[in-house]
Amino acid sequence: MSSLILFGALKTWITPLWVVAVGAAIAVGALFVASGLLRLIVPKVAAIARTTAKEALSQPLFYVILAIGVFAIIVFPFVPYNTFGEDVKVVKDEGLTLIMVLSVILALWTASVTIADELDGRTALTLRSKPISRRQFILGKFLGIIGPVAILFIVLGTLFLTSVSYKVVYDARETANPEPTWQECSEEMLQIVPGLGLAFMETVVLTSISVAISTRLPMLANLLICASIYVLGHLVPMLVKSSVGQLEYVPFVANFLAAALPVLDHFNIYGAISTGRDVPLDYLGLAAVYCVLYSSVAMLVALLLFEDRDLA
C-alpha cells in the first residue's frame, strides 16, 4: 500500500513536467534560431558574441554559480518555513530571487571581465586592427553576455519549476492535507513562468547598464554602481510615493531618479505570487517593451562612451 501511495505521489508531480520539457525545448530552439539569424544578418557581431559567450562559459564562476543554484533549488522544497500552509509561495519567491541574483552576478562579472579588462589590457586594440567597428564590438559583447545568462535561466528555471511541482505534493503530505492533483501542481508551476521571463528582462536591463559602465570604469566600480542601481531601481516607486507633500527638492530628486534609473519593480511579481493571481499577458508585453527601450538607451550610452575612448 505504501508503495502505491508513493507511486501516486510521484506520478502527481511528474505528470505536468511535460510542459516544462516543452518550454525548455522551445527556449533552447529560440536561442539557436536567434544565434543563426545573428550570423546571417551581422556575422561580425555574431563572431564577437560567440567568442564572448565561450569565454563566459569557460569561466569557473559560471559553474560555481550553476552549482550554487542547483543545490539551493533542490534544497528549498525540504526546508521547513513554518508559514501555516504558505510554504509553496515562499519557495516560489526564493527561487525567483535566487535565479535572478545569480544571473545578474554572472552578467556583471562577465561584462567587467570581457570589456573593462580587455580595454585595460589593450586586447581591444588588437581587435580594432581588424575590420570591426566599435559599435560591432560593443553590441557583440552585449549579446555574448546575454547568451550564457539565457543558458543559466533555462537550466535553473527548468529545475525550479520541477521543484515547485514537487513542493506542492511534499507540502500536502507534511501537513496531512488531501493529496493534490497534477492539475494543481501544473497551476502552481505555470503561475511562476511569467516571473522567470520578467526576471530575465531585469537581468538584460542591468547587463546593458553594466556594459555601458564597463567602457569607462573597472570591475569594482562597475559592480558597486550596478548594485546601487539594483537597490534603488526597486525602491524608486516607494521614493516617489513617499515624497508627496514633502519639500520641493525631495519630490524633484525622487522623480529624477525615477526618470534616470530603471524602475526594476516593473519586473516584480511577488505581489501576484502572494495573492495567488496570474500575471496578464498584456503586462508581460509592456514589460518587454520597457526592457527593450531602456536597454537600447543604455546601449546607445555605451556606444557614445566608447566612441571616443582612447584604445592606444
For residue range 260-283, what is the model confidence (pLDDT) as tens digits?
788 887 787 766 666 667 778 888
Question: Grid coordinates representing 27?
Answer: 527556449
Q: Are 134 and 45 in contact (CB under 8 A)?
A: no
Q: What is the gyration radius of the CA atoms in the chain, in angstroms?
A: 22
Confidence bin at 217 (pLDDT 50/70/90): confident
71 band by pLDDT with thresholds 50, 70 and 90: very high
Q: At 7, which helix (H) or strand (E)?
A: helix 2-14
Show the cell assigned to 113: 571581465
DSSP state of 266: G
pTM of the model: 0.87
First-to-last C-alpha distance (Å) of the chain = 76
Cell readout for 225 is 554602481
User: Is there a domain that residue 312 lies in?
Assistant: no
pLDDT digits (tens, 9 = 90+) for 149-174: 999 999 999 999 988 888 888 877 77
Structural domain includes residue 175 = yes
Backbone angles phi, psi at 129, to 5 degrees: -70, -15
Tell me if 108 is assigned to some domain: yes
Query: What is the domain extent for residue 128?
Result: 2-307
pLDDT band (50, 70, 90) for residue 20: confident
Contact criterion met (CB below 8 Å) for 142 and 52: no
CA distance 16 to 276: 19
Residues 189, 19 contacting (CB under 8 angstroms): yes
> Which range (109-113, 177-181, 200-204, 237-241) has the least confidence?
237-241
Instruction: Report the residue count for the chain.
Output: 312
Q: How far is CA 289 from the centre of its chain?
A: 16
Q: Provide the CB-side half-sphere exposure for 309 (13 A, CA).
A: 28
| Residue 247 counted as domain residue | yes
Return the C-alpha cell found at 47. 563572431
H or E element in which residue 85 lies: none
For the cut 70, the answer to whether the pLDDT of residue 121 exceeds it is no
pLDDT of residue 19: 81
Q: How far is CA 75 from CA 68, 143, 269, 276, in A?
A: 11, 32, 23, 23
Q: What angle do CA 297, 299, 301 make, to 5 degrees?
A: 70
The total domain count for the chain is: 1
At 135 the pLDDT is 85
